[in-house]
Amino acid sequence: MSGIKDGEERVAALRLSLGDEHPETLTAMLDLAEVLWAEGRLAAARELEERVVAARRRLLGDNHADTLKALGKLATTIGAQGDLAEARRLQEHIVAHAAEAWGEDGRDALRALNNLAGTMAAQGDLLGARELLEQALGEMCRLFGEEDGDSLAAMGNLAAVLWQMGETDEAYWLQQQVAETQRRLRGDDDPATRAAFAALHAMQKDAGF
């Protein structure tokens, strides 16, 4: 809880010294929203994110890179609250304007594809999610390499979608690559390594081996 208190005090101080809509104030609000999110306080996080999105839209426009980043955080929160349709609508807007904000080969543009695919998969649109993930993964591997963190995240998401589609051999092989690469690069105790092996073990349990 100290993290929340510290964040609230920082936001309050910046509002007093710089104003409600200064870029530093808005960034601090998003930082506080992340802490709230981690503590499970999604409604409070969403309120902050909505205020930041509204301010950045007014100051920078709907399709500015900073507006889209804040919108992406809001979409994630809305999706976590169960409103997948609204989360997808926001994420589709981000993807549609990603190239002008970050360039076609920008990391944030490819992350936006990955995020949209996750929402589509949660909605049951597995084929659409697979197509986006294969596109994003191909570009990430080309630009950043197969061992990049974003590439591995997309690979793990693709493995999950393939597993749900019944393509278990390919899914298991991909997830095994993710887990072993994470272990080699980051060690057994890294959260990404633990998450990758947890997904792998879930596949093993589901398959009965």
> pTM for the full model?
0.89
pLDDT in tens, 45-68: 999 999 999 999 999 999 999 999
Query: Average pLDDT in the 167-189 region?
Result: 95
> DSSP string covering the chain, please?
-HHHHHHHHHHHHHHHHH-TTSHHHHHHHHHHHHHHHHTT-HHHHHHHHHHHHHHHHHHH-TTSHHHHHHHHHHHHHHHHTT-HHHHHHHHHHHHHHHHHHH-TT-HHHHHHHHHHHHHHHHTT-HHHHHHHHHHHHHHHHHHH-TTSHHHHHHHHHHHHHHHHTT-HHHHHHHHHHHHHHHHHHH-TTSHHHHHHHHHHHHHHHHHT-
Query: Average pLDDT in the 189-194 region?
Result: 93
Query: Average pLDDT in the 103-112 region?
Result: 88
Q: What domains can you pick out in the chain, each with its CATH number? A: 1-102 (1.25.40.10), 106-209 (1.25.40.10)
- Average pLDDT taken over every residue of the chain: 94
Percent of the chain with pLDDT over 70: 99
Query: Average pLDDT in the 79-95 region?
Result: 96
pLDDT in tens, 140-163: 999 999 999 999 999 999 999 999
pLDDT of residue 103: 84
pLDDT in tens, 90-100: 999 999 999 89
pLDDT of residue 1: 56
pLDDT of residue 209: 65
Q: How far apart are CA 110 and CA 136, in angstroms?
A: 6
